[in-house]
Amino acid sequence: MSKVFTITEGLENMGALRTGGQGSVYKGRRYGPIITAVKLLPTPIHTESADDKNFRNFQNEVEKLKKVNEEPNPNVVKILNSGITESGSFPFIEMEYIDGPDLEDLLKPPHEPIFTIKEIIKLADQLANALSHCHKVSVKHGDIKSNNVKFNIHTGNYVLLDFGLSAMSDDQRRTSIRHAGAIEFMAPEQNEGLMYFQTDVYSYGVILYELIAGQVPFPLKDNGETARNAVMLAHMETPVPDVMELRRSNLPESWNDKKKEHEMMVPAWLLQIVAKCLKKEPDDRFADGIELQETLMYSSIGAVSGNQEEDTWNASVLLKENERLQGLLLYYQEAENNKPLPVITESMEPPVNDGKQVRMSKPIFIVFMLLLCGFTVFSAVVMSKFGSQISHGVYNRLFKSSNKPADSSAVKVPVTKKQEAEPTRQQDSTPANDESGIPPEIDSQADSILQGIKYKKTNTEDPQFYRDSAKTKDTSNLNF
């Protein structure tokens, strides 16, 4: 497709996506693979000067639109740029390109003529989130309709598009509405060029009505002026047709009886929300998207538990508690960021991790302490009952000789002449050399002590010092 005009430097015009009385949308491409959607407004601006009223109004409205993307929202399209085209002097708004079908396409063959209840509730929640996000920054959309809500095939979210009407002045908006193609979604007050927060709420109700019934409340039969006037008049005066009757007549033939019966069980709270959104007077509707979203959330919670009033109060409490916790989190994060770093002086030495520290989790430490206390109590009980016996046994074991007194009835061993010649030596050496009463562990400890003492004095090792030499060497001068 050949270029009709140049949008601006670095932004290539790839052809029209759709056109209408409120402006046309073109597919644009930045240098490289980046694809965007460019909304051209129908009123040209001849001079980019503050003296030009149209340019001044456009700049003011664009400044409001910038607030929409100050906080990202997955259900609101990102506004990337704005300006005046190089040829034609049309103001434009460059937006993120959403890859996927819009609601108008999803209601046409080969798709079903109505949405399932599950998908209706999903869209109701996400579109209410988009409206609440815009209304919090005082931005009115003014052009909510089926082909301005797209299903993002990459994220699975429904996204609100096209803020072109928001960037128009009141006079431009009145002129644009007269030639608008989507008059079926317009609130009664828009016939007079007025736009409130409740105007977006009305259009929201029309979209939900269309998803439930398979058609809008007041369809446009043709593009003639008579048909358009009839739709405008119906929005102002005619009661809204029964949505459930229309849904029953538009149930797909491919659904079995069980699914048809299930899909006719549309929640009463959802029908009540749609009915309030479609009130003729703006004051009878929800005040804005914020109130709409809160009502949708409270109603769905109340329907699940069966106690709407109590759950409304609980949800309000939870929301306030969530805000309080978020505030505390931000406070502590700010305090942590502003905390001064510790000053390390010469006298302060940072801890050195030599690998010898033992770290223990709290539960293991508690179990360890309980076992230690139990062992202490057990030891105290044992010592109280058998302490004297244990102490005497240890004392006798360590310090008393194990030689038993001679038994007069025992058999006498004959004494040799050599033993008779050395009576004194045998008597002196028996107590010192008899090792039968010394436990091996005590013997080993004593051996180690004596080896250490000799090593300090001679700087030589004698592994068998105690056992082999204690009998032949004089150890009286050893100092323990």
Query: Which among 99, 98, 94 is positioned nearest to 11, based on CA atoms?
Result: 94
Considering 330, 360, 377, which residue would you say is the last residue of a domain? Answer: 330
Residues 306 and 454 occupy one common structural domain: no
Distance separating alpha carbons of residues 142 and 236, to the nearest angstrom: 17
Backbone angles phi, psi at 27, to 5 degrees: -90, 125
- Indicate whether 178 and 315 sit together in one domain: yes
**Any bridge partners for residue 13, and if so which?**
28
pLDDT of residue 46: 74
Instruction: Assess if residue 209 is contained within a domain.
Output: yes
Task: Please report the pLDDT score of residue 103 as a whole number.
Answer: 94
C-alpha–C-alpha distance, residues 151 and 160, integer Å = 9
Give the span between the Cα atoms of 439 and 398, in whole angstroms.
8
pLDDT at residue 83, as a whole number: 83
Last residue of a domain, one of 280, 300, 330: 330
Helix 289-305 and helix 308-338: axis angle, to 10°?
120
Q: How many domains does the chain have?
A: 2
Q: Give the span between the Cα atoms of 256 and 237, in whole angstroms.
A: 38
Residues of the chain with pLDDT under 50: 1-4, 21, 344, 346-347, 402, 405-411, 413, 418, 424-436, 464-473, 475, 478-480
Single-letter amino acid code for the residue at 239: P
Residue 60 CB burial class (10 angstroms; 0-12, 13-18, ≥19): exposed
Q: What is the DSSP letter of 217?
A: S
Q: How many residues does the chain have?
A: 480
pLDDT of residue 418: 47
- Does some domain include residue 319? yes
Q: How far apart are CA 477 and CA 480, in angstroms?
A: 10
Distance CA 262, CA 117 (A): 9
Does 390 map to a domain? no
* Predicted local distance difference test score (pLDDT) of residue 394: 60
Angle between helix 117-136 and 289-305 (nearest 10): 140
**Host domain of residue 191:** 99-330
Q: Is 103 exposed, middle or buried (0-12, 13-18, 19+ CB in 10 A)?
A: buried
Q: Strands across the sheet with 35-40, in order?
A: 11-18, 24-30, 35-40, 91-96, 79-84
Residue carrying the six token digits 């050893």:
478
Amino acid type, 225:
E
CB-CB contact of 123 with 206 (8 Å): no
Say which amino acid occupies 24: S
Point out the domain boundary residue: 330, 361, 384. 330
Answer yes or no: is 367 within a domain: no
Q: In Å, how far from its chain's centre is CA 430?
A: 85
User: Residue 274 has what pLDDT?
Assistant: 97
What distance in Å separates the CA atoms of residue 272 and residue 284, rounded to the nearest whole number? 13
Task: Let me know if residue 385 belongs to a domain.
Answer: no
pLDDT, tens digit (0-9, with 9 covering 90-100), for 383-392: 777 766 766 6
Q: Identify whether residues 317 and 443 lie together within a single domain.
A: no
**How large is the C-alpha radius of gyration of the chain?**
47
- CB within 8 A of 22, min separation 6: which ones? 42, 143, 164, 165, 176, 177, 179, 180
Q: What is the pLDDT of residue 216?
A: 96
Strand 79-84 with 35-40, pairing = unpaired
- What is 118-146 written as a DSSP string? HHHHHHHHHHHHHHHHHHHTT-------G
Q: Report the distance separating Cα 81 and Cα 84, nearest Å.
A: 11
281 occurs within a structural domain: yes
Contacts of 343 (CB under 8 A, 6+ apart): none
Alpha-carbon distance of 45 to 413, in angstroms, equals 138
Q: How many CB atoms lie within 10 A of CB 234?
A: 17
Phi, psi of 81 (to 5 degrees): -160, 170
Residues 179 and 296 grouped into a single domain: yes
Residues 315 and 452 in one domain: no
Residue 283 in any domain: the answer is yes
How far is it, in rounded angstroms, from Cα 143 to Cα 22?
9
pLDDT of 3: 47
Q: Do residue 159 and residue 278 come from a single domain?
A: yes
Of 246, 295, 272, nearest in space to 107 by CA: 246
Q: End-to-end CA distance of the chain: give it in Å, rounded.
A: 108
Q: Answer yes or no: is 255 within a domain.
A: yes
pTM for this prediction: 0.59
